[in-house]
Amino acid sequence: MSLIVQKFGGSSVANAERVFNVADIVTSTYKEGNNVIVVVSAQGDTTDDLIEKAKEINPHASKREMDMLLATGEQISISLLAMAIEKLGYPVVSLTGWQAGMVTDSNYSNSRIRKINTERVMLELDKRNIVIVAGFQGINRYDDITTLGRGGSDTSAVALAAACHADLCEIYTDVDGVYTTDPRIVPDAKKLDEISYDEMLELASLGANVLHNRSVEMAKKYNVNLCVRSSLTRAKGTVVKEAVKVEGMLVRGVTKDNDVARISLCGIEDTPGKAFRIFSLLAKKNINVDIILQSIGRDNKKDISFTVAESHIDEALKIIEENKEIIGYETMSYTTKVSKVSIVGAGMVTNAGVAARMFEALYEAQINIHMIATSEIKVSVLIDEGYEAKAVKAIHDKFELA
């Protein structure tokens, strides 16, 4: 008997018909003799509707009360899914985050899971109940309800799989796996059968919205077998697991990210500690900096450019302006009219020609490169906004990923 964790997102349970589709997948897995833990998100637009209700009353409501409010979304979907499974005649029990023992820190609206007290879940599995757990939520040490922030339900599922030593964690979504690039841009993009945690991490952080980074990081840490599948087609999906050495395949996928803004600081005094100062100020406000480019010093001055998420640009500019004296720069400029295009693949590090081949593809497509960043398994370039689809297609063709 295997233990399988299955996670379904909000669109998978958006209405009664879809809830029964999920119930069918779950009970089929159960019927085959497996124990099943199901993690569910809030139905379709429920979370947005609740946020709307809150905003009408207080746009600056405390995060604690927002979490109290938003946690109802998953509580509704777990009970409805349990009712559907009852209707199909299977033993089932739904559990909220706290009932499932999901203990988090107190960082409301963006909590991290600290530990999972699995007694209740294991007890229900021992009774051969299908166990449905509310994703995205937990409680802190004060017994207050918390939520995990974006991608939280994926993280709930992987954490439960790790804590309960599940044999497999299936993430059901509305795409049927991980592709070499976005099929809406490049129609002949290919579905990958397998991908390593690290490659998936890069793809996720680069905007391929299949799995959230936190869940992949956790899967990697606890070596959870992940599988991304479609709840609609039920096709085989993509397995995410420990690095698979594939000699022939250097580049695994091409991805783009439009949520990027570039900030440039010119005329910074060329003394140690300047970069540290800038980025620690931003880090304190939880602003992630991605690509960083520092010019070679000249006349004892240097320039630093870096990218942040577009949604963080206002706050980032404010911090930098407020700290002009401390940082000590002459001028600041920024643009949001840029996009990031990246290639990802575990084999790249051992193959020097990969980056050059990517730049060649962009050159042939007459696309100008503003910034370049490389890591062991990825190469990212910053280009003008509007050219990203063309760039992705050119690179995808160049590496013959179709």
Q: Cβ of residue 221: shortest distance to a second copy, in angstroms?
A: 29
Footprint of a second copy on 348-377 (CB under 8 A): none
One of 11, 45, 63, 72 touching a second copy (CB under 8 A): 72
By the 8 A CB rule, do 153 and 143 touch? no
Give the nearer residue to a second copy in terms of CB position, either 143 or 299. Answer: 143
Q: Cβ of residue 12: shortest distance to a second copy, in angstroms?
A: 15
Q: What DSSP line would sit under 290-322, residue for residue?
A: EEEEEPPPBTTEEEEEEEE-GGGHHHHHHHHHH
Based on the shown chain and the rule CB under 8 A, indicate whether residue 315 belongs to the binding site for a second copy: no
Based on the shown chain and the rule CB under 8 A, indicate whether residue 14 belongs to the binding site for a second copy: no
Nearest C-alpha neighbor of 14 from the set 45, 52, 53: 45
* Strands in 55-117 per DSSP E: 92-95, 102-104, 113-116
Distance between CA atoms of 357 and 342, rounded to whole angstroms? 13
Distance between CA atoms of 55 and 52, rounded to whole angstroms? 5
By the 8 A CB rule, do 176 and 235 touch? yes
Based on the shown chain and the rule CB under 8 A, indicate whether residue 281 belongs to the binding site for a second copy: no
Based on the shown chain and the rule CB under 8 A, indicate whether residue 50 belongs to the binding site for a second copy: yes
- Candidates 61-69, 269-277, 310-318, 366-374: pick the segment binding a second copy (CB under 8 A): 61-69
Footprint of a second copy on 119-158 (CB under 8 A): 120, 143-145
Based on the shown chain and the rule CB under 8 A, indicate whether residue 24 belongs to the binding site for a second copy: no
Give the nearer residue to a second copy in terms of CB position, either 20 or 279. Answer: 20
By the 8 A CB rule, do 290 and 306 touch? yes
Distance between CA atoms of 119 and 48, rounded to whole angstroms? 33
Q: Cβ of residue 33: shortest distance to a second copy, in angstroms?
A: 24
One of 56, 247, 325, 400 touching a second copy (CB under 8 A): 56
- Counting residues that bind a second copy (by CB under 8 A) gives 37
Based on the shown chain and the rule CB under 8 A, indicate whether residue 83 belongs to the binding site for a second copy: yes
Q: What DSSP line would sit under 359-372, residue for residue?
A: HHHHHHTT----EE
Based on the shown chain and the rule CB under 8 A, indicate whether residue 62 belongs to the binding site for a second copy: yes
Q: Cβ of residue 38: shortest distance to a second copy, in angstroms?
A: 14
Q: What DSSP line would sit under 170-230, residue for residue?
A: EEEESSSS-BSS-TTTSTT--B-SEEEHHHHHHHHHTT-TTS-HHHHHHHHHHT--EEEEE
Q: Which residues are at the interface with a second copy (CB under 8 A)?
A: 16, 19-20, 50, 53-54, 56-58, 60-62, 64-66, 68-69, 71-72, 75-76, 78-80, 82-84, 86-87, 93-94, 96, 99, 120, 143-145
